[in-house]
Every structure is written in structure tokens, then in C-alpha cells.
Amino acid sequence: MTEATIEAYYLEDRTFPPPDDFRKQALASDDSLYKEAEADWQGFWAHQARELLTWFDDFESVLEWDLPFAKWFQDGTLNVSYNCVDRHVEAGRGDKVAYYWEGEPGDTREVTYADLLDEVSRFANVLKSLGVQRGDRVAIYMPMIPELPVAMLACARIGAPHSVVFGGFSADALRGRIIDAEAKVLITADGGWRRGAAVPLKVNADDALEGTETIEHVVVVRRTEEDVPFTEGRDRWWHELMQEADADCAPERMGAEDLLYLLYTSGTTAKPKGIMHTTGGYLTHVAFTHKYVFDLHPDTDVYWCAADIGWVTGHSYIVYGPLANGATSVIYEGSPDTPGKDRLWAIAEKYGVTILYTAPTAIRTFMKWGTEFPESHDLSKLRLLGSVGEPINPEAWVWYWQHIGGGRCPVVDTWWQTETGGIMISPLPGVTTLKPGSATFPLPAIGAEVVDDNGNKVERGGGYLTLTRPWPGMLRGIYGDPERYKETYWSRFEGRYFAGDGCKIDDDGYFWLLGRVDDVMNISGHRVSTTEVESSLVDDSRVAEAAVVGAKDETTGQAIIAYVTVRGNVEATDGLGEELRESVAKKIGKFGRPKTIIFTDDLPKTRSGKIMRRLLKDVAEGRDLGDTTTLADPAVVDEIKRRAEQSPQED
């Protein structure tokens, strides 16, 4: 199929029903899950909890809901590491591969469920020997190596909540999180490989620990084998401790509502929020969604979520969901362009990946690099694709479907948040007819509605996304700050969880996520979504990526400033800028026409790949830049500032 045909499909507003052969083998191929959930949504979750998990003590209480505080399966007991590891070994699946791991330099490891049981048990004993007790918090700051899930599961085994801090975060960010959680032990590594260079994790960790008072020991995995500073008494090598450790460690009987982990996420203030996730409900939610959204056939699928475990996507869909379901997954340590821009496709081919879950920003980067990279590998084993992290523009969706999925794989666009714990709005690939760019419908048992400024339900049209019922994976609060929890999520609309996302419901009832509401612009009284403008810019096949901000403007309130990167062999001329402005005006209306288009080689992104519009807004409004420490590549902003000064402005 040619590019021109794809464009034509998009213009036709084509929909994608599940392909027949996909539907025939799918776990869900009709509306029965939705029906069961609608008849009794609490009963539905209780059923899933019992079907998908192994409980030490069954629960009687399904839900205690004292808005906004939920308790799921309160009186049940279970252990997350037992559910993710032991029971698969006990069922005779010890030799099954849990993780095919590949390091950036090309070294590989196969970790079976039996290996996991051995290592998790040993490391659980290591933690105990270092004085970690049930309820103590453990900080983890590691590269994407198998020891990372082992460390998380070992914490879960002994009932010590973990707080994983993404390895790309700075020493300052790590320090703040350790202080807030009052962590007792820190687990890290000498370093990790990224674009051929060693990320100095241990050096950062030492820096972070200056000014913290609670850490008693630091456990260090040897990965890059570079010399690192070592503090006698406090610091211990992982491999030495593991050698001495006993390989038997009985999993703790945990209450369903015991804290499983904290994960810090940025809000609108400078202080990150420690999002709390607990045991039974969380594991039920991630196991259920991982099974049905990805149509997981654990005996034949090779599943790859290409996120970092340091983000919630990795917690839920690399570690807890897939392991609870006994899946075989791929983990890759490094950068997608090392040694070449085909690295992901080489890995997918090598392991026979059948399910791939990644982010729109990655997909647009692959588009920019060109189709020759995926085309140079056999991706015919792929049968399902997923997207998460931001709205996916229809053009990227169709490109992913065509050039990665070979036009045969459903694409599940999954909306959720750190706070929701697991996927909330998404297709079921054997059931749902897809529309490129829409996350489609709330999953079975999930209550999601769009409301207007006054909190009135919007049946069709745009507004704010809210969640109307508790769900088992929901955050239980913000660590140490119940007031902020109420205020942030439960005070804007009475009785509803406020997600902070704009959303439009179309004539067929499909949900279209429009980005954060803080990104909604107001141009001469017209509400324009940054996403809508971005989407129409990237519709042009010459555009690789676009980020749009509303900058203060004397006459129109806000003016639309668009930062645009073009595809490989396209020249970024003033003429192209003019054409793009006109084409947006045509698609959205004159008020949607960007005042300025600034061409740039790259966009400022957080390390999880979200575009930092706040910085772009600062540039557009000529302000000094605020905090840039969460940027993946700080050099990008200087370039953008230079380009902004040179770009023609139009009214």
C-alpha cells in the first residue's frame, strides 16, 4: 500500500473492525465482559480478583467506598510476588521464560520463572538481613536490567513498599523522593548503558544521599563495571550479598490494602506527589487489563512493553501485569538508535515479538527516521500493537498500523495515568472497531464520563474527563498528604475523579482524549486544543512532530505558537510554514491558525517522552526558563530559543 492510499483512508475517516482471524482467536470477541460488568460492576471485579489471582485468604468485602477513600477486597490476604512468581513454578512452568533481556551492548540473559523465584527469594532475604521489615520503604534507582524487577518483587515478597525512581532522574530528584518516603535502603547500580555511554547511577546516588538521613544501606549491582565510590559499612555489592543469601523465603501474608509501592509523579506544583498503590486491587486491575487489552495468550505470545520500568507503564505492564499472567516478555536496556535506528526491530525479529506496546512519541520518531528501518526486519510475528502516554495523532496511528503492524494488527490506544494504576479507556482488540486517534471506550466496569465546566454530563461533545466509580487499581492517596489527594482529584466535580484531561465524545460515543486541560488554549474566545492543532500539523506528510502552545497575546488573549520538526529530507522553508498555517486554518478554522511556526530539529521532552510544553511556552512568551532538570536533552532548548528569534511572525 502506498502513502497516498493511506492518506486517502484517513480522509475517508476509515474505521478498523477486528480482523476476522484476530477475532476468532481472541480471548474476548463479543460484548459479554461489558454485559457482565454492567449487571454488577463490583461483582465483576470480585470475579476477576478470584479468577486471576491466588489468595491466601479469600475476601468477603469487595469494596468499602467512603469517597474519596476506597478499600478493595479489604479482608483478603495475598502476596504479589507469590502471584507473579511462585505459583507459576508450582504449576510446573518454572522453565518458562519470564524475561528475554537484552543489554544495549548486545549482551543477553534469559530469566525463567524458576530463576526469578530463586533470585527474588534470595534478594528478599538480603533485604531482611539489612534490617528491612514489613512496612519499611525501599528506594530503587536502577537501569533496565533484570535485577530491577527482582528488587521490586523482593520488596513485595517481604511487604516493604518500593519507590522506584527512574534512572534518568537527577540526584536532586532522587534525594527529594528518598526524603519524602523516608526510605531505609537504596538499591542502585554502578551505572547503566545508554547510547553507548555509562549513566553514572552510583555517583548520582551518592550525591542524592547528601542531605538525607534515613538510608542505612546502599546495595549496588555491578553492571557497567566502572570504578565507583564505595562507602565502607553503608554500601554493599549485590552479587556478594546474593551469594551468601538463602534461596528460601516465605512470602508475607499481606492484606489486600497494604501499600505495594509509591511512585512519584509531577503535578502542577513543584513538589512531586507520591502516588500510593496497594496490593489486591492493583494486581487485579493490572492482571485483568494486561490479559484482555493485549489479548494475552501466555503460551504463544512474546510480549514487549518498550517503556522504562521507572514509569508506571513499566510497573504495571512490564512487571506486575505480565508476571501475574505468566507471560513471556522482552526487556531492552538501552536506546532505540544504538547501534542503529533499527535496534527495536532487530530485537522484535530476534525474539519473535507478537505484542508491542510503546508511546506515540516513539512512533513519531520512527516515522521521522523512515520506513527502511522496520522494513529491514521480519516483523511478521507481530499480531497486536499498543500505544500509551499521550494522544496519538491519526497519522502516527495509521503509520504504526501500516509500517510496523503490516496492516494486519489491531492498535490499542490505551488511556490511563499513574494515578489510575492500570488501563481505563481502551479498545478490546477482538471486540472494538477502532478509529485512529481515539482510545474508544471505557473498559468493562470502568465508569468514565465527560462533563462541562459546571460538572454536567456531556453526552456528545467536548469537556473534562471524569471517572464516576472507584476501580481496583486506583491510587489510595498521596503519600503523607490526604488533603492534597482530595483537593487534586476529588474537589473539582462533586463525586467524580477529575483526571485533568480534556475529552470529546463523538457521534458514535467514542472517547477522544485531547491532552491535559492545562494545555487547552483560548484564542479570541475559542477553545482550541493544543492536540487538535498538533494533530492537523502532523497530518502533513512532511511534518514529523509538532508541539503547540498558547502564548499570551494582547489582542487575541492567547496566540498559537507551533514548534515543528520536519521529516528527514524535507526543507524547512518559510513557504512550508505558510502552507502549514493555511492547512491548519482549513482543518480547524481560522482561529486555529498558528500565529508563528518555529522549525526546530528536536522538541524538549521529559525522559518519559512527554513534550514539555511549559518550556515552549516560556520561550514563546520570552521568559527566562524555569526548571529544566527533567528534560531528556537540555541542549534542545537553546536551539529552540535561537530558532524562535529568527522565525517570521504573522498576524
Residues of this chain that interact with ligand 7RM (CB under 6 A) are 265, 312-313, 388-391, 413-418, 439, 499-501, 513, 515-516
Query: What single string gives the DSSP state of each residue in 131-169?
Result: T--TT--EEEE--SSTHHHHHHHHHHHHT--EEE--TTS
Strand order of the β-sheet with 303-305 is 108-112, 97-102, 329-332, 303-305, 355-358, 384-387, 411-413
Q: How far is the CB of 418 from ligand 7RM (least distance, A)?
A: 3
Query: What are the helix (H) ranges across 565-612?
Result: 574-588
| CB of 547 closer than 8 Å to CB of 534 | yes
Q: How far is the CB of 403 from ligand 7RM (least distance, A)?
A: 20
Q: How far is the CB of 177 from ligand 7RM (least distance, A)?
A: 16
H/E/C letters for each residue in 269-293?
CCCCEEEEEECHHHHHHHHHHHHHH
Q: How far is the CB of 266 from ligand 7RM (least distance, A)?
A: 9
Q: How far is the CB of 400 from ligand 7RM (least distance, A)?
A: 13
Query: What Cα–Cα distance (Å) separates residue 69 from each residue in 52, 64, 490?
Result: 24, 8, 10
Give, as one character, the DSSP assignment of residue 90. I
Nearer to ligand 7RM, 413 or 539 (CB): 413
Distance CA 210, CA 229 (A): 14
Query: What are the helix (H) ranges across 390-481?
Result: 394-399
Q: How far is the CB of 417 from ligand 7RM (least distance, A)?
A: 4
Nearer to ligand 7RM, 264 or 332 (CB): 264
Cα torsion 72, 76, 81, 87 to 10°: value is -120
C-alpha cell at 506: 463523538
Nearer to ligand 7RM, 388 or 443 (CB): 388
Q: How far is the CB of 552 from ligand 7RM (least distance, A)?
A: 23
| Residue of 315, 270, 312 lying closest to 173 (CA atoms) | 270
Q: What angle do CA 466, 467, 472 make, to 5 degrees?
A: 155
Distance CA 364, CA 424 (A): 24
Nearer to ligand 7RM, 190 or 413 (CB): 413
C-alpha cell at 630: 527533567
Q: How far is the CB of 649 from ligand 7RM (least distance, A)?
A: 30
End-to-end CA distance of the chain: 40
Q: How far is the CB of 508 from ligand 7RM (least distance, A)?
A: 18
Q: How far is CA 624 from the centre of its chain?
A: 30
H/E/C letters for each residue in 180-229?
HHCCCEEEEECCEEECCEEECHHHHHHHHHCCCCCCCEEEEECCCCCCCC
Distance CA 427, CA 124 (A): 38
Nearer to ligand 7RM, 279 or 418 (CB): 418
Nearer to ligand 7RM, 81 or 313 (CB): 313
Number of Cβ within 10 Å of residue 234's Cβ equals 13
Give, as one character, the DSSP assignment of residue 443. P
Q: Which helix (H) or strand (E) holds 555?
A: none
Q: How far is the CB of 404 from ligand 7RM (least distance, A)?
A: 17
| CB of 370 closer than 8 Å to CB of 337 | no
Nearer to ligand 7RM, 214 or 417 (CB): 417
Nearer to ligand 7RM, 417 or 541 (CB): 417
Query: What are the helix (H) ranges across 539-634?
Result: 574-588, 613-620
Q: Which helix (H) or strand (E) holds 476?
A: none
Q: How far is the CB of 509 from ligand 7RM (least distance, A)?
A: 17
Q: How far is the CB of 216 from ligand 7RM (least distance, A)?
A: 31
Distance CA 586, CA 458 (A): 27
Nearer to ligand 7RM, 415 or 441 (CB): 415
Distance CA 537, CA 520 (A): 17
Query: Would residue 600 be called left, alpha or beta, if left means φ above 0 and alpha means ψ between -120 and 50 degrees?
Result: beta
Instruction: Judge residue 229's burial from the number of C-beta atoms within 10 Å of its C-beta, 0-12 exposed, 13-18 middle, 19 or more buried.
Output: exposed
Q: How far is the CB of 350 from ligand 7RM (least distance, A)?
A: 27
Nearer to ligand 7RM, 155 or 611 (CB): 611
Distance CA 212, CA 202 (A): 15
Nearer to ligand 7RM, 501 or 539 (CB): 501
Nearer to ligand 7RM, 439 or 611 (CB): 439
Nearer to ligand 7RM, 128 or 613 (CB): 613
Nearer to ligand 7RM, 68 or 391 (CB): 391
Q: How far is the CB of 515 from ligand 7RM (least distance, A)?
A: 6
Distance CA 110, CA 118 (A): 14
Nearer to ligand 7RM, 48 or 387 (CB): 387
Q: How far is the CB of 397 from ligand 7RM (least distance, A)?
A: 11
Nearer to ligand 7RM, 228 or 262 (CB): 262
Number of Cβ within 10 Å of residue 377's Cβ equals 15
Q: How far is the CB of 646 from ligand 7RM (least distance, A)?
A: 32
